[in-house]
Amino acid sequence: MLIIEDLKTRKRFWQSRRNSEPNRKVRPGLVVMKFGEQLRSSVIREYQWYYIDYDGLKAELKQRRGEEWTEEDERRFVSKLEAELDKVHTKQQVKAMEISRRIAVSEREVRDVVNRLNERGLGRDDGPSEEEFMLLEEDLSDIIADVHDLAKFVQLNYTGFYKIIKKHDKLTGWHLKPVFEARLKAKPFYKENYDASVVKLSRLYDLVRTRGNPAKGDSAAGGSQASFVRHTTKYWVHPDNVTELKLIILKHLPVLVFNPSKEFEEADSAISSIYYDNPETWELYEGRLKKTEGAEAIRLRWYGGMQTETIFVERKTHREDWTGEKSVKARFALKEKFVNAYMRGELLPAAIFEKARKEGKKSEKAIAEDERLAAEIQWSVLKHGYKPVCRSFYHRTAFQLPADARVRISLDTELTMIREDNLDGVTRSGDNWRRTDIGIDYPFSQLPPGDIHRFPYAVLEVKLQTQLGQEPPEWVRQLISSHLVEAVPKFSKFIHGVASLFPDRIKLLPYWMPQMDVDIRKPVTHDFGIQRTGHSATNSTSDDEDDDYDSDDEHPPAAAGPSAGESSAQGAAAESSRQHRTIADIEDQTADRAVGDDAYPLYDSEDEDDDERRDRLEEARKVGGWTYYRTLLAVCAHAATHHTWSFLKFIAPRPRATPVPRNERLEGLFGSGEIQTKRFKAPKGKKIYVPVRVEPKVYFAAERTFLGWLEYSIYIGTIAVTLLNFGAKGNTTSFIAAGVFTLLAIASLCYSVGIYLYRAKAIRTRKVARYYDKWGPSVLCFALFVAVALNFAFEGKDRHLW
């Protein structure tokens, strides 16, 4: 990945180097920013003397270039690297302790002000004033900025250590990476978890923002749903942006905590789910992927660690919009010790709820609904042979005002999919409903690679519930259109987990799978994020950047850290230095997001693209001889035909598309910039499924079109019968004209039946097909014109009119 700057426009963009050529050139007028320069331009003033001395370490390596790297050189380099690690680790520890103390002090001050407010009132006697609340808010905002800066400091240094070790191993031939990974684990400055600080800051900021009167009530309450419109969108968030995103959201919505009296623990945010399906047919997977009416997902979910006794049995049912119903998620609670018996059909639903009926804690109606749900799920599992196939695990941070469901935001991090099946002869869950060799010990390093898929991004879900005609809050609109998120509509953990863990069994892929290797980070689109006057801006860099053009390069685990935007604080000196950069040394250029046509893809499961033709030509060049010349001729002929056809289409007089302004929904998804496209090709033997919206009126429209063609064919057939039966006997002209109209009627009938069957199948299978008829009406109308003209010409000749 490269950060590239256009000298003409002064704009930066990111270009992917994954799967790119080793000697790929950058067009004139663009310069590539190296990691060392990116590190210098991203320096935060408070930390400027504590960053890794990346340039010094690199100079140490280059001093011995061309000479043999000795044991003394290695000892000197490792000693300097250890000193840099100790410097960074110490600064991180000191700053983290300082932030913790500041949070503790702010908590005491906020509690004191709120207590005085409750006792005396705002601005009365010795009660707190509005200025005190404003000062507290400023202090908390400053702490939030400190957390952001520390996270960015950690992320940049972690990237620096990874890159300099990689450079060392490449230039010297000595393998330092395995040894230094142990040193990093001994001083894990990059493993700081900010979730506890985020929860505390959220609670304090909410108290101050609401002037000691935070919203209270049931977090699931939302009043009457009849007058509201729900809109849910899912986004991917790069690990570099997670902390910043949390800090931005908590300034508008508090973190939703179900037990405020309990101290926050990491296990409190852990959520695990076991998904069921039939491993022979994968009917639940395909149903959820195709979004067919009534498609179900069955899962068992629990919150916290493996010792949790309460398991929730859930069923999600998809409903199409045209039905007038909403998709439903229903669930009931079950003790863990009863799960196996229930899923095998040994424990009936009536027995499960017998105790609840005796205790009388729930109404009879609620118990009856749960019992019916339990019976339906049990019947489906036993009838269709559903078995546990995969598990999803993640830590969830939810943001919402209690008793106000207008804006609900959840952020799922450390998302992991794990196999739960026994299909390949390996006993994982056995006869149990879940495997017991793992818990919530992310990253589950004890599992073999084939059993686990660690999702590279966090998943943000934004649920908006607004009145008809009402716009969502402005900060939400800015957030979802910012550089921090990437919209992925209809993303599903279950679908992604099955597609990733069972590549040999799944042939139909979700639309987002081919773009998993495309970096989702984007340059800053507008002034949005955590900013503080007096600090130089921070630019996003990648901990998985490719330092060289090695095709087999491995990527380190993502370090927790945010990404912030570039600002004018970088100074004229850095600006002038960019004028003289070259791309001669590509060793340590900073990775960033692909631009141009990498943004929003179109999918192609069948057509051969240019890359394949280039690969075919390259293979033929290796063979040489006539094979190469035949392949070259075929490629050139294909290119010439393509360009000729494109030119003819361009000059041909035809209706042109009229530009239509982008609606608010598209602008919310893609922003106001130009929408780029790229074609992705499905892997061999697989197909990409693109969501298709099918409503009953589509079926009716296809039938109406078919009936219209039948009517047309009947009219033509009537003309043919009239000419044949009422024409003069023995008249050759009438017979020829009748024959032409008869053939035209038969062709129209056959064509209409074929088109109808094609469209009906495409609608039934939700295939992305062309439902408009480009040539049929024109060809048949032209044939009708010819038939009428011939009949007129022959009839006129028989009457000696010409």
Centroid of chain to Cα 711: 48
CB 438 within 8 A of CB 219: no
Is the pLDDT confidence value at 555 over 90?
no
Buried b (16+ CB within 10 A) or exposed e, 285-317: bbbbbbbeeebbbbbbbbbeeeeeeebebbbbe
For residue range 659-699, list pLDDT tens digits in order: 777 666 666 555 566 666 666 677 777 777 777 777 778 88
Is the pLDDT confidence value at 352 over 50?
yes
Q: Is 262 labeled as catalytic in the residue annotation?
A: no
pLDDT in the model for residue 332? 92
Q: What is the DSSP string of 340-356?
A: HHHHHTSS-HHHHTHHH
Q: What percent of the chain has pLDDT over 70?
A: 74
Cα–Cα distance list, 751 to 352, 627, 712, 743, 748 (Å): 60, 42, 12, 12, 5
95, 152, 387, 493: the catalytic one is 493
608 — pLDDT class (breaks 50, 70, 90)? very low
CB 510 within 8 A of CB 495: yes
Q: Residue range 483-510: average pLDDT?
A: 91
What pTM did the predictor assign? 0.68
* Torsion region of 292: left, alpha or beta (phi above 0 gives left; psi -120 to 50 gives alpha): beta
What's the token pair of residue 724? 């044949």
Q: Residue range 60-89: average pLDDT?
A: 85
User: Judging by DSSP bridges, how do beta strands 600-604 and 677-681 pair with one another?
Assistant: parallel
Nearest CA among 150, 177, 147 for reference residue 161: 177
Estimate the crossing angle of helix 130-172 against helix 71-120, to 10 degrees. 170
Nearest CA among 423, 333, 415, 347 for reference residue 387: 423
CB atoms within 10 A of CB 746: 14
Per-range mean pLDDT, top range of 368-377, 590-599, 639-648, 743-752: 368-377
For residue range 389-404, list pLDDT tens digits in order: 999 999 999 888 876 6
Estimate the crossing angle of helix 776-798 against helix 696-726, to 10 degrees. 10
The sheet with strand 11-15 has its strands ordered as 11-15, 2-6, 30-33
CB 103 within 8 A of CB 200: yes
At residue 688, φ and ψ (nearest 5 deg) are -95, 125
Contacts by residues 695-702 (CB-CB < 8 Å, ≥ 24 positions apart): 695/320, 695/321, 695/322, 696/322, 697/322, 698/763, 698/771, 699/760, 699/763, 702/756, 702/759, 702/760, 702/763, 702/771
Q: Which helix (H) or strand (E) holds 136?
A: helix 130-172
For residue range 164-222, list pLDDT tens digits in order: 888 888 888 888 888 888 888 888 887 777 777 888 888 888 888 877 777 665 444 33
Q: Is domain 279-385 given the CATH code 3.20.100.30 in the classification?
A: yes
What's the token pair of residue 189? 């400055």
Q: Which helix (H) or strand (E) holds 235?
A: strand 228-237
> Where in the chain are the domains?
279-385, 696-798
CB 414 within 8 A of CB 436: no
More confident residue, 251 or 553: 251
Supply the mean pLDDT for the chain. Answer: 76
* Partners of 299 in beta bridges: 275, 314
* Partners of 333 in beta bridges: 312
Nearest CA among 259, 242, 250 for reference residue 399: 250
* Partners of 312 in beta bridges: 301, 333
539 — pLDDT class (breaks 50, 70, 90)? very low
More confident residue, 351 or 697: 351
Q: Residue range 303-317: average pLDDT?
A: 91
Centroid of chain to Cα 411: 13
What's the token pair of residue 748? 């129209």
pLDDT in the model for residue 134? 83
What's the token pair of residue 319? 């409903």
pLDDT in the model for residue 647? 80
What's the token pair of residue 650? 């361009």
Q: What percent of the chain has pLDDT over 90?
A: 17
pLDDT in the model for residue 122? 66
Please identify which residue in the block is written with the tokens 């799978």: 513
Contacts by residues 308-316 (CB-CB < 8 Å, ≥ 24 positions apart): 308/336, 309/335, 309/336, 309/337, 310/334, 310/335, 310/336, 311/335, 311/336, 311/339, 313/342, 313/374, 313/377, 315/373, 315/376, 315/377
Q: Rounded distance, CA 3 to CA 581, Å?
A: 12
At residue 10, φ and ψ (nearest 5 deg) are 65, 25
459 — pLDDT class (breaks 50, 70, 90)? very high
